Structure 1
Amino acid sequence: MKRMIVHCGEQSTQMALLEDGRLVEFAVERAASVRLVGSFYKGRVVNVLPGMQAAFIDIGQKKNAFLYVDDCLHPHLEKQPKQKPPITSLLRVGQELIVQVMKEPFGGKGARVTTHYSLPGRHLVFMPQADYIGVSKKIERESERNRLKQLAEAIRANEEGIIIRTVAQGETVESLAQDMGTLRQQWKAVEQAALAVSAPALLHQDVSMAERMIRDAFTHNVDELVIDDRKQAELMKSYVCTFDAELVERVIVYQDREPIFRRFHIEGQLDKTFQRKTWLQSGGYLVWDQTEALTVVDVNTGKYTGTSDLEDTVFFTNMEAAEEIARLIRLRDIGGIIIVDFIDMDSDDHRKSVLEQLERTIRKDRTKCLVVGWTKLGLLEITRKKVREQVMSRLYTSCPTCDGTGKRVPELQQL
């Protein structure tokens, strides 16, 4: 059974996705914080950096946003790097322009913005200034891909771009056209708002975390959407009704006295998820370490000694670890470069099987991931799109004394 569980608290809203009772995705949005990704701003150029081919844009936040030349070029020029003009020919100090946030500010850096605008809907992503049609790679059947491309061509105007989402499989042209019409209206509202204000100003704010997850993940494969707040449940029913009325009856109000995350055994799973050492069912374990540059995962056999020879023990542990690593990367919402140090394997077939296991499991992740492959040192490289701080940073704060290192000076050195 697949369930989406929503806890509405005074300080935050938390959402969990369960598959047969196992936690596979978790998100949290604090009431005091504002999500920037997806939102549109009218910004003002405050500094142009020719040496970096980038510019700083004032969008009204504490830190100025960062705009790379690749993110403000016409899409047709991106594939021809030699034709990239200098940033000074595209932007000037004091210029006002519409930008969309593509990456949250974190680590002392401002948000990253773009002028390649996109508005996501239930069935498609609308790109108002890109002459392009794409179909989700998760739609594998060629006949369905071609059908959806034809529908996209039928509903778009010249110079408009469309990316068909996975949930659009089997949908009619009417459903796609309705989605497209709504997104066109949103873009028109952004343009009109930009004419009425001076920079810096917010033009359009993206939907809440709960609405976003429901829009993107609440499909007919999900059996229940359980919410512990009646008012929010009614709002979610109204929202779901705008794109799929058949799913409304699956929205359930949770009324028991026992906290909803305890009732569905989410609390205990969350506690284990964010430990530096996470145990595998076999007795092996993973060690997670993060730096500004990358995340490293070390695989160990631990308590597991196997039942036959060493190679089989190592292979079994690595196979189990590959599946768990893919799940926890998604659950922790880790972005950027990820390096996995699996236990050394002599067999090329075993190495291939572990790689395939990881690739197969990581396909379930809705965030863009790429399993790069094995390095010459036998490490496995993964990249995952990074748009915000990982979940752990939103749930915990670093110790002000040790800054999160968890170490102290030995007593002998203190004397």
Structure 2
Amino acid sequence: MSEEILVNVTPRETRVAVVENGMLQELHIERGWARGVVGNIYKGRVQRVMPGMQAAFIEIGLERAAFLHAADIVKPAVGDGEGDAASLPATPTRPISELLREGQEIVVQVVKDPIGGKGARLTTQISIPSRYLVLLPHTRVVGVSARIEDEAERARLKAHVAALAPAGESHGYIVRTNAEGQSEEALAEDITYLSRVWALIGEKSGSVRVGECVYEDLTLPLRAVRDLIRRDVEKVKVDSRETFERLRAFAAQFMPSTGTAEGPDLVEKIEHYAGARPIFDLYGVEDEIQRALDKQVPLKSGGYLVIDQTEAMTTVDINTGSFLGQRNQEETVYRTNLEAAQSVARQLRLRNLGGIIIIDFIDMNDAEHKRQVLRTLEKALLKDHAKTTVYEFSPLGLVEMTRKRTTESLQRQLTEPCHECSGRGTLKTPETVTYEIFREIVRQVRQFDAARLLVIASPKVVARITDEESAAVAELEEFVGKSIRFQPDDQYAQEQFDVVLL
């Protein structure tokens, strides 16, 4: 599998694309005026405690107060250093009123950006990521990513990290997927780096004021190098000389590695792209971004997906379209669903869709076919960095799943609700607006005295009134006893109109 990371830098926007075998799989966007705050640590003040919700609102200097649930305040149980964090027994959640009081100062970390009308989601269970590890300051757990499946490698990494952890420090670590195959020296460098960062956070948190940032996560290009580069990444291409040099320096300082016969050093994988053609155009990324904003996604077989993102959930509907198949209907449906399962996994990752997701596969009668489609979906989701959970087919033939959401979806980052339809996706027909105008005329005449009336509306509505509804207008003039004139205005949306009394 060929994988490349492309970094496009402009004065106010940075974009990072992950391309696998020539196809865009992920897109990350950071704008100078609206950088995400996930991972940032703030000194906050408890603004309001809500016992009924087991939560509190915390002032951390953002536009809206952030949300902290009681379950994110209680520290994880202290393990013996041998188990994964997920295997530890859950600590019972105490009442929020026992944990926080209004006016209390508290150090918190953002785990979810403000989304829609909701404030940021917070936790007091701080975690600091590095190239190979995640530091957990408040627990002694040593866990290993579930994506490292080799038991011998898991045991080796866990033993190295436990041995390298500084004596006297009650810190825990999670070993990241990128650590697979790394040397003891590389892990030791990460532990040293994390210890230094945590010490600086401790010093700064005591001196900053409420609402100030104690620790800010890396910028998008640096995060991409830290989090996205794996062994199978061939190149990181950057179209900015300044960013290229910064990435090389960062990789050399914090992510040193030694080249092997299997591949070059990480630093050597980072290249400066100086071509005349924009890098995203060269790889077809710009076209893919435009297609990722469409509701309909074509499949190679002739079928298609329809993706609808709502406030509560995202729905995905699969249709056979023009695909007729070669054998019978069940086989045609099965093949379409298999292709759709792979496409759905890619679209969720590309569009950064999170929360509850409902997939309406085409109905299948064969239980084995259902099992294979579900297995294909789960296998395709293994490449996803976000945590996903997939459930069995429901009695209605739907697949329910969840995908962890930390930032806005691609659609909500790049678009806004239509000003004409207010995000409904539909407009009232000219006929409907016409009859609204007629009712408004009667209402105005009954309330106010006027010699004549002027109606200003969109050209499409006025054209319909003066043409198809001319007889109705004559009847209306006779009914109200006033003359009515209609004036088209290009500045008026289809649903917009004004009735002016003259």
Matched with 2:404 is: 385
Q: CA deviation at 1:252?
A: 1.5
2:319–2:362 contact (8 Å) kept in structure 1: yes
Hey, what does 1:216 align to over in structure 2?
227
Corresponding residue for residue 203 of structure 2: 192
* 1:244, distance to aligned residue in structure 2 (A): 3.1
Letter in 2 for 1:349: E
- 2:308 match: secondary structure: strand
Which of 409, 413, 425 does residue 406 from structure 1 map onto?
A: 425
1:137 is the counterpart of 2:146 = yes
1:90-126 CA distance string (max 9 Å, x none): 1111110110000101111111110000000100101
TM-superposed deviation, 1:220 = 2.7
- The code of the aligned residue for 1:222 comes to V
Q: Which residue of 1 aligns with 2:83?
A: none
- Separation in 2, partners of 1:106, 1:401: 23
CA distance in 1, matches of 2:42, 2:76: 20
Is residue 343 of structure 2 the alignment partner of residue 332 of structure 1? no
| Counterpart selection for 2:256 from 233, 244, 248 | 244
For residues 62-81 of structure 1, the aligned pairs below 5 Å read: 62-76=63-77, 79-80=89-90
SS in 1 for 2:205: helix
- Equivalent residue, structure 1, for 2:331: 312
Please list, as runs of the form range in 1=range in 2, the aligned pairs for 1:100-249 lying within 5 A after superposition.
100-156=109-165, 157=167, 159-242=170-253, 243-245=255-257, 246-249=265-268
- Within 1, Cα distance between the matches of 2:291 and 2:325? 24
Q: Aligned residue for 2:296?
A: 277
Following superposition, the deviation at residue 360 of structure 1 comes to 0.5
SS in 1 for 2:58: strand
1:235-289 Cα deviation digits (max 9, x unpaired): 1111121203512222121112111111111112222222101100111000011
Partner of residue 49, structure 1: 50
Q: Deviations over 1:394-414 (max 9, x none)?
A: 112221222222210012211
Unpaired runs of 5+ in structure 1? none
Tell me the SS of whatever aligns to 1:196: coil
The SS at the match of 1:37 is coil
Q: CA deviation at 1:143?
A: 0.8
Residues 198-217 of structure 1 deviation map (CA, whole Å, 9 limit, x = unaligned): 21211111001121121111
Q: Which amino acid aligns with 2:353?
A: I
Q: 2:9 matched to 1:8? A: yes
Query: What is the letter of the counterpart of residue 398 of structure 2?
Result: L
Question: 1:393 Cα shift?
Answer: 1.2
Query: More deviation in 216-225 or 110-119?
Result: 216-225
Question: What is the one-letter code of the residue matched to 1:90?
Answer: L
Paired residue secondary structure (1:32)? coil
Residues 140 and 170, structure 2, Cα contact 8 Å, conserved in 1: yes
Q: Is the 8 A contact 2:295 2:307 kept in 1?
A: yes
d(CA) in 1 for partners of 2:287, 2:406: 27
Question: Which amino acid counterpart does residue 241 of structure 1 have in structure 2?
Answer: A
Could you say what the CA RMSD is over the residues aligned between the two structures, in angstroms?
A: 1.4
| Structure 2: distance between partners of 1:91 and 1:273 | 43
Residue 79 of structure 1: how far off its partner (Å):
4.2
Matched, 1:96 2:105: yes
> What is the aligned counterpart of 1:268 among 279, 284, 287?
287
Q: CA deviation at 1:219?
A: 2.5
User: Are the equivalent residues in 1 in contact too, given 2:46–2:104 (CA < 8 A)?
Assistant: yes
Please give the secondary structure, in 2, of the residue aligned with 1:334: coil
Give distance in 2, aligned partners of 1:4 and 1:200. Answer: 35
Q: Residues 6 and 238 of structure 2 are in contact (CA less than 8 Å); yes or no, is this contact kept in structure 1?
A: yes
* Distance in 2 separating the partners of 1:205 and 1:121: 13
Count of aligned residue pairs for this structure pair:
414
Contact 2:41 2:216 in 1 (8 A): yes
Gaps of 5+ in 2: 79-87, 258-264, 435-502
Range moving further from structure 2, 230-239 or 312-321: 230-239
Is contact 2:139-2:172 (8 Å) kept? yes
Structure 1 stretches of at least 4 aligned residues deviating more than 3 Å after TM superposition: 77-81
Q: Specify the code of the residue in structure 2 equivalent to 1:401.
A: E
The one-letter amino acid paired with 1:5 is: L
For 2:95 and 2:47, locate their aligned partners in 1 and report how far apart those are by CA, in whole Å. Answer: 17
Return the match for 1:368 from 387, 402, 405: 387
CA distance in 2, matches of 1:399, 1:10: 27
Structure 1 position 59 matched with structure 2 position 60: yes
In structure 2, C-alpha distance between the alignment counterparts of 1:271 and 1:58, rounded to whole Å: 37
- Which structure: larger Rg? 2
What's the counterpart of residue 28 of structure 2? 27
The 2-side partners of 1:413 and 1:395 are apart by: 32
> What is the deviation of 1:80?
4.8
Q: Structure 1 CA distance, aligned partners of 2:297 and 2:13? A: 26
Contact 2:3–2:232 under 8 Å retained in 1: yes
Matched, 1:342 2:342: no
Q: TM-score, normalised by structure 1?
A: 0.97
**In 2 relative to 1, CA 168–257 (structure 1 residues): closer, same or farther, beyond 3 Å?**
same
- What amino acid is the match of 1:29? E
